[in-house]
Amino acid sequence: MSTPSKPLVTRERLSEVRYEIRGELARRARELEAQGRKLIKLNIGNPGAFGFRAPEHLQRAIADDMGRTDPYTHQQGLPVAREAIAAAYARRGVPDAVADRVFLGNGVSELIDLSLRALLNPGDEVLVPSPDYPLWSAATILNDGRPVYYRCRPENGFLPDPVEMETLVSSRTRAIVLINPNNPAGASYPRELLEKIVAIARKHNLLLLVDEIYDQILYDGAQFQPVAPLAGDHPCLTFSGLSKVHRACGWRVGWMLLSGASERLGEFRAALDLLSALRLCANVPGQYAIEAAVSGPDTISPLCSPGGRLYETRRAVIEACEASEHLSLVVPSGALYAFPAVIGPAAQGFDDHDFALQLMEEEGVLVVPGSSFNVPYRNHFRVTLLPEASVMREVFGRIDKLLARRAEA
């Protein structure tokens, strides 16, 4: 006789985890599409979905590898790829940037989880930006930690206040997460600010977890300042990969570089070794594109400069927000997103989820509600800057129409 089957239970802390970029709204979008609706989906920073292809020299590097025997690589990744990454960071002034300190992963996503798994004990705290890229919060929670948010306020250009940040440090704090340039707000952090944050990390002995996946996606002359050279001998993990700058997100290639004096890394280095070994290695064909990517020509700056696709789309968004009485925008200086706020009468009783749902149902546009990025306000939304400028003009026309209707209601 078979026993009655009980429903499966899952990890309790999952109820605290959200990833709305691909959540309820995205599911509803698929339903509408199955019914034949045409939607403009701006929820994911997915270059391939907007017609971008990885640069040809990367495609060739992978194609050249196809047909070779494909063993697992070293758990940290192919030496040739790691050497190229280390050399690129050494050129940026990162001390002790050597292949042995580079770890390859299936996207930065895997490495974010792996690094927090190596670091956290139950109840440990991680200082996470608000707004954040929500995987940082999710991975902290799923590794038994607690995200403690430092505010990056719109009125301060979405930059953090280091004085306020330091007040959040407790005896349980283990790390500071920095996302620079930032997703979703597009802020890029000036050197003096980063120096102050590094000083806090030093003073309180906190690991710096620095997500620089948008490091070369910069507009209007914004300068990128990597954190690791400022951190010097202080422990720092820098994350980047092929998904954004090299438009190859489907290849799932990311890396992290551990920097800081060996004697200050304690057991952490060995923990990264063990956890890397447990997942065997990263996707191997993708690893073959890394050397070409980090040593090859700069293919992203032209897209971010006047006349370039990302630049022109961003310009269309800026102009649309300036022209709208319902929107205000902190102009993004980097990354692939805009994070406008709804203001004025349209913002009365505004709920970003309701708005996003209505926008999709009535105007056929999918955006991400701002509160998905762990902010305590509900009047923002995020769009990716990846479509053509003409699409974006159409999108903001529809958004403005809906906001005008809501303002009159």
* Shortest Å distance, C-beta 4 to ligand PLP: 41
Cβ proximity to ligand PLP: between 145 and 254 the closer is 254
- Tell me the residue ranges of DSSP E strands in 124-196: 125-130, 146-153, 159-160, 173-179
Whether the upstream peptide bond of residue 79 has omega within 30° of 0, thus cis, is: no
Cβ proximity to ligand PLP: between 254 and 332 the closer is 254
For the window 16-55, what string marks contact with ligand PLP as x by the rule CB under 6 A? -----------------------------x----------
Q: From CA 215, how far away is CA 240, in angstroms rounded?
A: 8
For the window 190-229, what string marks contact with ligand PLP as x by the rule CB under 6 A? ---------------------x-x----------------
Considering only CA atoms, which of 258, 230, 295, 6 is closest in space to residue 111?
Answer: 258
CB 366 within 8 A of CB 43: yes
Q: Does position 183 bind ligand PLP by CB under 6 A?
A: yes
Q: From CA 168, how far away is CA 107, in angstroms rounded?
A: 30
* Shortest Å distance, C-beta 253 to ligand PLP: 7
Number of residues engaging ligand PLP in binding (CB under 6 A): 13
Q: Does position 77 bind ligand PLP by CB under 6 A?
A: no
Cβ proximity to ligand PLP: between 42 and 346 the closer is 42
Q: Does position 334 bind ligand PLP by CB under 6 A?
A: no
- Tell me the residue ranges of DSSP E strands in 39-99: 40-41
For the window 231-250, what string marks contact with ligand PLP as x by the rule CB under 6 A? ----------x-x-----x-
CB 217 within 8 A of CB 244: yes
* Shortest Å distance, C-beta 179 to ligand PLP: 5
* Shortest Å distance, C-beta 175 to ligand PLP: 15
DSSP for 293-329, written as a single string: HHHS---SHHHHSTTSHHHHHHHHHHHHHHH-SSEE-
CB 217 within 8 A of CB 179: no
Cβ proximity to ligand PLP: between 59 and 358 the closer is 59
* Shortest Å distance, C-beta 408 to ligand PLP: 36
Q: What are the structure tokens assigned to 337, written together? A: 């997103």
Q: Does position 179 bind ligand PLP by CB under 6 A?
A: yes
Q: Does position 188 bind ligand PLP by CB under 6 A?
A: no
Vertex 241 angle, CA 235 and 247, to 5°: 155
Q: From CA 34, how far away is CA 282, in angstroms rounded?
A: 34
Residue, CB closest to ligand PLP:
107
Stretch that binds ligand PLP, among 103-111, 139-147, 282-290, 369-377 (CB under 6 A): 103-111
User: Using CB atoms within 10 A of its CB, is residue 210 exposed (0-12), middle (13-18) or buried (19+)?
Assistant: buried
* Tokens 């490495």 found at: 111
Q: Does position 129 bind ligand PLP by CB under 6 A?
A: no
Select from 42, 62, 97, 108 the one that contacts ligand PLP (CB under 6 A).
108
> Angle between the 352-363 and 389-408 helix axes, to the nearest 10 degrees?
110
Q: Does position 133 bind ligand PLP by CB under 6 A?
A: yes
Show contacts with ligand PLP in window 250-269 (CB under 6 A): 254
Q: Does position 130 bind ligand PLP by CB under 6 A?
A: no
Select from 55, 107, 334, 370 the one that contacts ligand PLP (CB under 6 A).
107
Considering only CA atoms, which of 254, 245, 257, 258 is closest in space to residue 286?
Answer: 254
Q: Name the residues that contact ligand PLP, by CB under 6 A.
A: 45, 107-109, 133, 179, 183, 211, 213, 241, 243, 249, 254
